[in-house]
Amino acid sequence: SASAAPAAERVDHRSLLHFCARYQEHLKQCAEAVAFDQNSLCGRIKELEAGSKSIHDSLQERHKKFQRLAEQIHKVTELRSMLTRMRSHAKHLGALMEELNSALPADCQLEPFSWQSTLPQQQQSDSSAVSTAAAASRAAGASNASTPSPANSLLD
């Protein structure tokens, strides 16, 4: 206790108070620096969250778009398989019609049916209507060359 007393007497309370005040100021500056860094990090985190939300939303929209496209592709695939089945049934029906027609007496038989023979006749009648309209528009175009004809633009 005798050695403790001289040490306490040697310490000046003003120096100790000054030391504690400087230490408190140092801790305050450290706390302010940490608070500034925390605020800066919070702001950056909010920016990143907003950016990631934007990216997430755009990816969700793309996902929905691709989902709709996949549904449309699925519908096209279904239509294609239905058309294939219809074509197969039509061929089978044609064979049955041919068999039925051959079973009839010669004077009652119909001429052979062909799917291709019906299409060119339709196309031929369509093309003759277009060529008639084109000829009429050319004749009108020759008399009135300054006015463009819609039929001419279709044929060009």
Cα dihedral across residues 143, 148, 149, 154: positive or negative: positive
- Residues 131, 127: Cα–Cα separation, whole Å: 6
Cα dihedral across residues 50, 56, 62, 65: positive or negative: negative
Tell me how many helices (H) and strands (E) the chain has.
4, 0
- Residues 123, 131: Cα–Cα separation, whole Å: 12
The mean pLDDT of the chain is: 80
Q: What is the dihedral of CA 76, 81, 84, 88, to 10 degrees?
A: -160
pLDDT score of 142? 46
Stretch (H or E) spanning 145 = none
pLDDT score of 113? 77
Domain chopping of the chain, boundaries: 8-113, 114-156
Q: Would you place residue 32 in the very low, low, confident or very high pLDDT band (cuts 50, 70, 90)?
A: very high
Q: Are 100 and 112 spatial neighbours (Cβ–Cβ below 8 Å)?
A: no
The 10s digit of each residue's pLDDT in 50-91 is 999 999 999 999 999 999 999 999 999 999 999 999 999 999
